[in-house]
Amino acid sequence: MCAAVILWAMLSGFALASGALPPAVAAAIPPFNVALTTLLMPVFLLRIVYRTSFRMPPPAGIAPAQHRLARRAHALLYLLSCLSLASGWLMMERPVDLFGLLTLPPSLEPSVATRALAKLHFASNVALALLLTGHIGAVIQHQRQGRRLLRRMSPLTG
C-alpha cells in the first residue's frame, strides 16, 4: 500500500509539473496528494519499524555482494521516500485539508525555507524515480531468472 501511494503521488506530481494535464485535473491533484500522503506518513513510519524489526533471510541463490547491494538500495528507497514525504509536508504554505475530516495548519510560514524545501522535494522525487526504475528493472530481471521476488515482496505471501 505504501509503495502504491508513493508511486501515485510521485507520478501524478511529475505529470502536474509537466503542465500537460487538463486544468480541472491539475487543480484536483495537489489537495488530494497532500491529504493522501499526510495520512500515509504514520503508516509509512510503522512500515519502517516493521521492516527494521523483522528481516527476511536473503533469497536462495543470491550472492552475498548482491544481497548487500539490494539492502543498501532498499535503505536508500526508504530514505528518499522519507525525504520526499517530510519535505512535501514541510513545504506546505497553506493548511492541509485531510479529506474534510481534519485541517492541519502549515508547519512553517512561507519563506525561503519553504521554497528550499520545495526544491528538495522535487530533487528527492527525481532521485526516487531513478532508483525505483532501477529497482523495478532488478525485480524484472530476477523474475526472468526464476527467482520469485514478487511473491516475497507481497504483504500477503511474503
pLDDT in tens, 58-78: 777 788 898 899 899 999 999
pLDDT tens digit sequence for 120-139: 999 999 999 999 999 999 88
Q: Which range of residues forms the domain containing residue 142? A: 2-54+63-153
- The answer as to whether 158 is a domain residue is no
pLDDT tens digit sequence for 2-13: 889 999 999 999
Report the pLDDT value the prediction gives residue 156, as an integer from 0 to 100. Answer: 64
Q: Please tell me which residue, 148 or 17, carries the higher pLDDT value.
A: 17
How many Å apart are CA 84 and CA 78, to the nearest integer? Answer: 10
- The answer as to whether 25 is a domain residue is yes
- The answer as to whether 133 is a domain residue is yes
How many Å apart are CA 49 and CA 47, to the nearest integer? Answer: 5
How many Å apart are CA 85 and CA 79, to the nearest integer? Answer: 10
Residue 13's contacts (CB-CB under 8 Å, 6 or more residues apart) are 29, 33, 125
- The answer as to whether 109 is a domain residue is yes
Query: Count of residues for the chain?
Result: 158
Cell numbers placing 118: 520545495
Instruction: Give me the number of domains the chain comprises.
Output: 1
Q: Kindly state the average pLDDT of the residues 36-62.
A: 89
